[in-house]
A = this chain, B = another copy of it.
Amino acid sequence: MPTVNENFLKLEKNYLFINIAKKVKAFTAAHPDADIIRMGIGDVTLPIAPVVIDAMKKGADEMGVKETFKGYEDSGAGYDFLRNAVSDYYKSFGVDVLPEEIRINDGAKSDCGNIVDIFGNDNTVLITDPAYPVYVDTNKMNGRNVIYADSNEENGFAAMPDFNVHADIIYLCSPNNPTGSVYTKQQLKVWIDYALKNNAVIIFDSAYEAFITQPELPRSIFAIEGAKKCAIEMCSLSKTAGFTGMRCGYTVIPSGLTFKASDGSDVSIAQLWGRRQGSKFNGVSYPVQCAAAAVFTEEGQKQIHKNIEYYQENARIISSTMEKLGIKYTGGINSPYIWFKCPNNMGSWDFFDLMLSKIEVVGTPGQGFGKNGDGWFRLTAFGDRDKTIEAMQRFEKLVAEIK
C-alpha cells in the first residue's frame, strides 16, 4: 500500500479562503435575502483592460491558423517577447533584471508553492507572521522546520530579523499581504545583510508592487545592493492587471545565484529550478502570454493604472473610515489591503462572525494568517466603489453600536 505524505495530515484541513467561503455559503443558505459585500479574499473586480483582451484574441486567432500556430514552447520559461517586456518593466523603475533571469508562470502561487522542491527538507524556514498561508503550508507539506519573525503593532507589522537566530530560507512579502506594510530600502538592506550572514536564500513576494506610489519605496528586492547574491523574486499580474482568472506571473532568479551541494560544488539555483519545471510544468498558454505582454505596453500601462487608481481610492475610503473611528490600522497606502485592530479587543474570528451576521460584510480574520494576526482583520480595496462606500457606512454603524 502506498504511504501518504503524512505532513499533509498535520495541516489545517482546508486552505484559509476555502473555510471562509464555507462560512459565507452557510450564512447565505440561512439568509437567502442577505445583501453580502465581499471584502475577504483578495480578488479583483474590475474587468481586464481592452488592449489586453485584444492581444489575447489576436493570440487566439494565431492558434487557429497553421502558419502562426504555436505548440509546446521550447523552453517552457516563457516567450522572449514576454520575458523582454518584463525585463523592460523592471528597467522602468530602475532595476536591472535580464530576460534570461525571468521565467513566466501561471501565477505567483504556483511558483511560490513549488520552489521549495529544489531545497532540502532539513532547512530551517523563517516566515514573518502574519503571512500568506502558502509560505507556511507548502513548507509544512515537506515537513520542514518553520520559525517565525513577529510582525506586530510595535513594529508596524514589518518584522525585522533577529541576528541571533539562524535560518536557511526566508520569506518576505512587501507590500505585505495581509498587513499592507511596506519595507523601506533600509529595512530590506537589513534583511539582505541577515541573509548574506546566514548564507540564506530570500524568497521575495512582490505581488503588490504596482500599488506602491511613494517613489522612495522599493518595488523589487533587486533595487537593493546584495540581493542578487541571495534572493529570488516572485511577482504576478493578478493584482497588477486583474489576472486572477487569467493566470500569469513571473519568477526572477539571478543567474549568479548559487548554493553549495554537500560535495562542495556550486549549484545554480536557476538551473535547478529549470530542471524542476522541465519535468513538472509545460509553459503558459500562448494567448495568455500575449495578453500579459500587452500589460507592459505604453497603452497597457495607461489602462491598468486607471484600474489601480480606482482600487487606491477604495483603499483611501477604507483608511479614512478607520481614521475617523480612531481604529489602528496599517496599509491602505502603497497597498490594496487595510489591516486593522478589531474593536473592543475582539478576536479575529469573533469579529468575522459579527461582521457577517450584523452588517453582512465579509472580511478575512487576521488569525488565519498566523498568531500575530489574532485580534486583527484584513479588508481589501479590490471591490466595487459603491459597495466599498456602503460597507464602510455599515461598518461605522456597527462600531457605534458595539462601542
| A168 shortest CB reach to chain B, Å | 4
A244 interfacial by beta-carbon distance below 8 Å: yes
A3 to B262, Cβ gap below 8 A?
yes
CB-based nearest B residue for A265: B9
Given contacts A110-B281, A279-B134, contact A267 B4 (CB under 8 A): yes
10 contacts between A and B (CB under 8 A): A1-B199, A45-B69, A47-B69, A48-B69, A56-B60, A109-B279, A110-B280, A114-B114, A247-B284, A285-B288
B72 to A244, Cβ gap below 8 A?
yes
| A266 shortest CB reach to chain B, Å | 10
Q: Copies of this chain, how many?
A: 2
A137 interfacial by beta-carbon distance below 8 Å: yes
Query: From residue 84 to 108 of chain A, which have CB atoms closer than 8 A to chain B?
Result: 106-107
The list of the 8 closest CB pairs from A to B, nearest first, reads A113-B280, A3-B120, A1-B199, A53-B64, A15-B278, A43-B71, A70-B245, A2-B168
Most B CB contacts (10 A, CB to CB) among A5, A9, A41, A65 go to A5
Contact with B along A360-377 (1 / 0, CB 8 A): 000000000000000000
Query: From residue 288 to 327 of chain A, which have CB atoms closer than 8 A to chain B?
Result: 288, 291
A212 interfacial by beta-carbon distance below 8 Å: no
B61 to A53, Cβ gap below 8 A?
yes
A328 interfacial by beta-carbon distance below 8 Å: no
Count of chain A residues near B, Cβ 8 A? 90
| A242 shortest CB reach to chain B, Å | 8
| A385 shortest CB reach to chain B, Å | 12
Contacts of A225 in B (CB 8 A): none
B288 to A288, Cβ gap below 8 A?
yes
Given contacts A45-B69, A47-B69, A279-B15, contact A122 B3 (CB under 8 A): yes
B285 to A247, Cβ gap below 8 A?
yes
| A340 shortest CB reach to chain B, Å | 23
B2 to A119, Cβ gap below 8 A?
yes
Contact of A259 among B1, B49, B53, B275 (CB under 8 A): B1
Contacts of A50 in B (CB 8 A): 64
A401 interfacial by beta-carbon distance below 8 Å: no
Contact with B along A244-278 (1 / 0, CB 8 A): 11111000000000011110000101001001101
**CA–CA, A383 to B67, complex, Å?**
13
| A306 shortest CB reach to chain B, Å | 13
Query: From residue 57 to 84 of chain A, which have CB atoms closer than 8 A to chain B?
Result: 57, 60-61, 63-66, 69-74
Contacts of A11 in B (CB 8 A): 275
Contact of A63 among B6, B48, B261 (CB under 8 A): B48
